[in-house]
């Protein structure tokens, strides 16, 4: 039960920190990246993470082929 409470606390704290971060981001950047809500921010973050991982994977594949 304690693990679940800790997990919930961490999720709530993360959500609170992201919400505070969004308040600090200039409006120009929000418009540029299409961030209208916290879910838009999460979606963009996930897409950028996936893109970064794909680029890293491609780089490793190229290194193996070159070797």
Give 12-21 pLDDT, tens digit per residue: 999 999 999 9
- pTM of the predicted model as reported, rounded to 2 decimal places: 0.67
Instruction: State the chain's mean pLDDT as an integer.
Output: 92
Q: Is the pLDDT reported for residue 7 higher than 80?
A: yes
| Residue 14: both structure tokens together | 């993360």
Q: Is the pLDDT reported for residue 39 higher than 80?
A: yes
φ, ψ for residue 50, nearest 5 deg: -60, -45
Q: Is the pLDDT reported for residue 1 higher than 80?
A: no
| Residue 2: both structure tokens together | 């304690």
Q: Summarize the confidence of residues 6-17 as an average pLDDT.
A: 92
């Amino acid at each position: 039960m304690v693990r679940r409470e800790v997990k919930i606390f961490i999720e709530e704290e993360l959500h609170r920190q992201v919400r505070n971060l969004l308040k600090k981001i200039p409006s120009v950047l929000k418009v540029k990246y299409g961030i209208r809500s916290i879910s838009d921010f999460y979606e963009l973050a996930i897409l950028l993470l996936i893109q970064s991982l794909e680029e890293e994977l491609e780089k490793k594949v190229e290194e193996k082929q070159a070797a």
